[in-house]
Amino acid sequence: MEASKTGLAGVLDLLRPRTTWGQLVGGVLCLMLGFAVVAQVQTTKRDTTFATARQDELVGILSDLGQRSERLRGDLRDLEETKGKLERDAQGGTALEEARERATTYGLLAGTLPAEGPGIELRIDDTRHGVRAMHLLDALQELRDAGAEVIQINEVRAGVDTYFLDEQDEVQVDGRLLRAPYVLLAIGDPHTMTTALNIPGGVVKTLRGAGAAVSIDPRAKISVSAVRSR
């Protein structure tokens, strides 16, 4: 009985399928060959689509391609027009910005626009009434020579044609009578203007010689609000 079982097991072992390296390699090659055949068939089908198409189908395909091409050309023209418009707008915007900057510069020089920037406050206290028109004119000229871009004297905005006249114990500026203390607000480099006013024998020395008390206050921001009429 034992011998019979042993013999049966041997037969079953012989019948059990065995996998070898050769069989695995062969299977992989078959799969690769199958993929290649399928790909070739699909390529052949695509290549023969137009060859097997009827004339009316070809005409329809060509018409569709023509319409698509025309749409693409139209889109390209639209894009080129948009590009040109943007370039013109950019150039126009640049020109407009430059025009605005020039208008601002002219407005500041003419005194028709308020201004703000670093500068100094020159305060002249004249309790002895010794300050005359020529003193304020000298101060104005010295500040301009030192690079002051905008100057205000009390409530009067200085311009290119600003003038000073003596009026008893006071000074008239551009037709307006000003009373001490005289406060000059000047926008420019604070250090340069302060140095220019304090040079030996300069404006500060002359004003003090006339009996005035003079102080210079450099500031990071000076606001000039007075404007001249156009």
CATH code of the domain containing 140: 3.30.70.1880
Looking at residue 187, what is its pLDDT? 96
Instruction: Confirm whether 98 is domain-assigned.
Output: yes
pLDDT of residue 161: 87
pLDDT digit string, tens, across residues 108-161: 777 888 999 999 999 999 999 999 999 999 999 999 999 999 999 999 999 888
Residue 105's pLDDT is 73
Please indicate, yes or no, whether residues 172 and 189 belong to a single structural domain of this protein: yes
Asked if residue 151 lies in contact with residue 182, where contact means CB atoms within 8 angstroms, the answer is: no
Asked if residue 43 belongs to a domain, the reply is no
pLDDT of residue 145: 94
Q: Residue 25: what pLDDT?
A: 45
Mean pLDDT of the chain: 78
When computed from its CA atoms, the radius of gyration of the chain, rounded to whole angstroms, is: 48
Last residue of a domain, one of 92, 110, 128: 110
Question: Residue 155 falls within a domain, yes or no?
Answer: yes
Q: What is the dihedral of CA 175, 177, 181, 186, to 10 degrees?
A: -20
Residue with tokens 């009316």: 56
Report how far residue 118's alpha carbon sits from residue 43's, in angstroms, rounded to the nearest whole number. Answer: 78
Do 218 and 133 reside in the same domain of the chain?
yes
Together in a domain, 105 and 194: no
pTM, to two decimals: 0.59
Note whether 218 and 119 are same-domain residues.
Answer: yes
Task: Give a yes or no: residue 24 inside a domain.
Answer: no
Range of the domain at 134: 114-224
- Quickly list DSSP for 182-198: EEEEEES-HHHHHHHHT
Do residues 132 and 171 lie in contact, with contact meaning Cβ atoms separated by under 8 Å?
yes
**Total structural domains within the chain:** 2
Beta-carbon-side half-sphere exposure of residue 53 (alpha carbons within 13 Å): 14
Q: Which pLDDT does position 53 carry in this prediction?
A: 58
> Is residue 19 assigned to a domain?
no
Spans of the chain, pLDDT less than 70: 1-66, 69, 72, 75-76, 89-93, 95, 230
Same domain, 168 and 106: no
